[in-house]
Each structure stands twice: as C-alpha cells, then as structure tokens.
C-alpha cells in the first residue's frame, strides 16, 4: 500500500486507537464493496470488549501470527444455565447449589 493511501489510517489510529485504509482497488470478494487494512491499538479493542458483559477475554498475544498479527481469544460467557457453578464453590459444596 502506498504511503499516501495509508496516511488517513495512521492519523486516525493516533487520534482514536483505530484506523482503516481502503486499498482502492476492485475487490475479488463479491460480497463486500470495500477491502483494505485496519490497525487497532489493544486499548481500543479492550475498551470495546469491556462494554460487552457477555464475553470474557481469554488470551491476547501481540505479533503472534506471522510476527505481525495480534491474536485475541474471546469467549462467550455463560448466562446462567442450570449447570454453571460459582467459581468459589468447592466440589463438595456443589451438590447443594443445584436449583
């Protein structure tokens, strides 16, 4: 990507923690109208995830794939099914927790 095409993404990244730059080329992907590159600060991503109380962050590794892509593992939280146990309950106490 030419530097002048990347500048808007870089400026947005330093201002907000997220930036996107379109490649401005016809895409081979027929179900999308745009294709480009995005950059995001870990703090930007974590702020978004903190707003969602239905997920837990399991792992985060910088530059884990091919030495340039970060890897974030997020898990959907249990929303109160009958078989979820409090993390503090000892196995001998769990039988009394069944409702």
pLDDT in tens, 52-61: 989 999 999 9
Q: pTM of the entire structure? A: 0.64
Does 20 lie in the same domain as 9?
A: yes
Contact between 19 and 10 (Cβ < 8 Å): yes
**Per-residue confidence of the chain (99 residues) as pLDDT tens digits?**
567 888 999 999 999 999 999 887 766 666 777 788 899 999 999 999 999 989 999 999 999 999 989 999 999 987 655 444 455 555 555 555 554
- How many distinct structural domains can be found in the chain? 2
Does 33 lie in the same domain as 66?
A: no
User: What length does the chain have?
Assistant: 99
Cα–Cα distance between 17 and 9 in angstroms, integer?
10
At 90 the pLDDT is 53
At 1 the pLDDT is 53
Contact between 83 and 98 (Cβ < 8 Å): no
How many Cβ atoms from other residues are within 10 Å of residue 37's Cβ? 13
**Would 20 be classed as within a structural domain?**
yes
């Amino acid at each position: 990507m030419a530097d002048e095409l990347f500048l808007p993404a870089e400026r947005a990244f330093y201002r907000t923690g997220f930036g996107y730059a379109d490649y401005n080329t016809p895409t081979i992907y027929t179900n999308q109208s745009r294709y480009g590159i995005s950059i995001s600060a870990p703090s930007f991503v974590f702020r978004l995830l903190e707003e969602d109380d239905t997920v837990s962050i399991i792992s985060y590794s910088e530059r884990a794939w091919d030495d340039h892509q970060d890897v974030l593992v997020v898990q959907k939280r249990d929303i109160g099914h009958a078989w979820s146990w409090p993390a503090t309950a000892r196995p001998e106490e769990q039988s009394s927790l069944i409702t």
